[in-house]
Amino acid sequence: MTEPVRVGVVGMGTVGSGVVRLLVESADHIERHAGRRIVVERAVVKDVAKARSVPVPGGKISSDIRDISRDPSISVAALLVGGLEPARSMMIELLENGKDVVTANKALLAEHGPELFELARKHGRSIAFEAAVAGGIPIVAAIGECLAANRIESIRGILNGTSNFILTRMEEDGANYADVLKLAQQKGFAEADPSMDVDGTDATQKLAILAHLAFGVWVPWAEIPRTGIEGLDLDLLNYAGELGYRIRLVAVASRSDGKLAMRVAPALVKIGTPLAETRGAYNAVSIVGDAVGRMFFHGLGAGQMPTASAVVADIIDTVVGRAAITFRTTGLLAADSPAAKLADVDSHERHFLRINVSDRPGVLAKITGLLGDHGISIASVIQHAETASADAGVPLVIMTHACASSAVQKAVAAIDKSDVIRGKSVCLGVLDE
C-alpha cells in the first residue's frame, strides 16, 4: 500500500482548525482526488495550552516550528499563521528543510513573495496560495491556469469579506459599524488586526497578487492607491440606496497603453448588478479576457471552511505534483518579474458627492458654481428638509454626469475650502456597468 502523505499544520486559528477538520472528516474523498491518503501528522501552535474545538489527530501538538520542519516524515506544511513575523521566518525554515508549503497568508506574499518564491525554487520546493485571495473562490487557479490563454484586460472585484459584511449589515439592518466589525471578528472573517480589512490593505494586497497572475508584473502593494471603508456611515449608504446604488469596497486593475490603472476604494455599484448583489462575507471577481470575454466569480471570501476548502485543494495539488509543475515551469512571483508601470488613476465616470453645507440662501448656487467652474455637470441633487439648525450643516448629495476624477477632486478641494462648508465632503466613484 502507498504510504500516506503526512502534513504539518502551522497555526490552529480559524483557518488551521478548518483545514484539520476537512482533512479528517473528508479523508476518503480527499484520498480519491490525491491518489494517496493525506494525514495530519502534527500541528504547531503559539499556545499549546489553549482549548481547541478541533482536536489534532494523535494529539501531536507543540509550539516549535522545527517539530514540523525537521520531521522527515512530513513533506507538506500548511502555514496558516497571519501577519509578517513569525510567518516569514517559519516559511523560510520550512522551505530550507525541504517542505512544500501551502499558505493563506496574502500579506506575507504581497510583502515578501519574490524573496520566498526564489528561496522555494532554490530548494526545489513549491508554494501554493489559492487561499490567499478571495477565500473559497478558485481565482488563483482560474487566472493562473484556466484563463492562461487570455490577455487579461481588467479585473474588478470585492476582495475583502469583512468590509463587505460590514457594508451589507449596515445597509440591510441599519447596524452600527463598530458592532458589525465585532461580529465579523467573532465569525472569523477579520484579520488578527482588523484595521487591515477596513482600511483596504487586505484587498490591496490581494489585488497585487491577482495583478501579478493576470498581467505578469510585480506591483508593490503599497503603491496602489487605497481608500478603506472607515469614512463611510449609514447616511451615505442610505443616500446611495435612494439613487439606486449600493456602496462596495471595489478593487480594480485594468490595462491600457502598456500601463496598469489600479485602485481599491469604496464605489457606488448599481442595484441589480453582480457586485451590488454580492452580500455578507461573499467576494466577487469580474475578469475580462481577450478570448473568453467577461467572466464572473462569486463565493465566500472569508471564514473557516471556505478558506480551508482552498487550502486543502492546494495540499491535494501539491501531493499530486501539480503545484510543483506550475512552480517549475512558470515564473510565478519571480524576483525578476517586471515592475508594473502604474497609470495615474483618472477614471472617467459619474461621481457621488456628499457635502455638508450650512442651510442658507445661495449655498446651492455656490456649490454648483464651483462644480461648473471645474467642468462638472450635475445629474441629480438630494437635500432633505432637516430639523437641525441651519448652521450645524445639512447634507447635500449630488450625482454628477461622467467626468474625470481629477476634476472632481479639485472641485471638492475648492468646495471644502469655502465658508459654507460644515465638515469634510465625501466623493465616491460610480461604477455603472
Shortest spacing between CB 312 and ligand HSE, in angstroms: 16
Shortest spacing between CB 346 and ligand HSE, in angstroms: 28
Which residues, 258 to 277, sit near ligand HSE by CB under 6 A?
A: none
Confirm whether 366 is a catalytic residue.
no
CA–chain centroid gap for 108, Å, is: 14
CA distance linking residue 406 with residue 282, whole number of Å: 31
Which element (helix H / strand E) includes 380? Answer: strand 378-382
192 or 271: whose CB is closer to ligand HSE? 192
- Among 50, 122, 182, 206, the active-site one is 206
Choose, by CB under 6 A, the member of 11, 18, 135, 280 that binds ligand HSE: 135
Instruction: Give the per-residue contact string, 156-175, with ligand HSE (x = CB under 6 A; - = no).
Output: ----xxx-------------
CA distance linking residue 148 with residue 224, whole number of Å: 24
194 or 289: whose CB is closer to ligand HSE? 194
Shortest spacing between CB 373 and ligand HSE, in angstroms: 41
Which residues, 293 to 332, sit near ligand HSE by CB under 6 A?
A: 301-302
Instruction: Give the per-residue contact string, 180-219, with ligand HSE (x = CB under 6 A; - = no).
Output: ---------xxx-----x----x-----------------
Q: Which residue has the cell 467573532?
A: 186
The grid coordinates of residue 211 equal 495583478
166 or 411: whose CB is closer to ligand HSE? 166
Nearest residue to 80 via CA among 57, 99, 100, 103: 103
Biggest CA pair distance of the chain? 86
Instruction: Give the per-residue contact string, 40-69, with ligand HSE (x = CB under 6 A; - = no).
Output: ------------------------------
Specify the 3-state DSSP secondary structure of 34: helix
CB 109, CB 132: distance < 8 Å: yes
60 or 187: whose CB is closer to ligand HSE? 187
Contacts 24+ apart (CB under 8 A), 189-192: 189/161, 189/162, 189/165, 189/281, 189/302, 189/303, 190/162, 190/302, 191/82, 191/107, 191/162, 192/82, 192/83
41 or 202: whose CB is closer to ligand HSE? 202
**Catalytic residue IDs:** 206
Which residues would be at the binding site for ligand HSE (CB under 6 A)? 135, 160-162, 189-191, 197, 202, 301-302
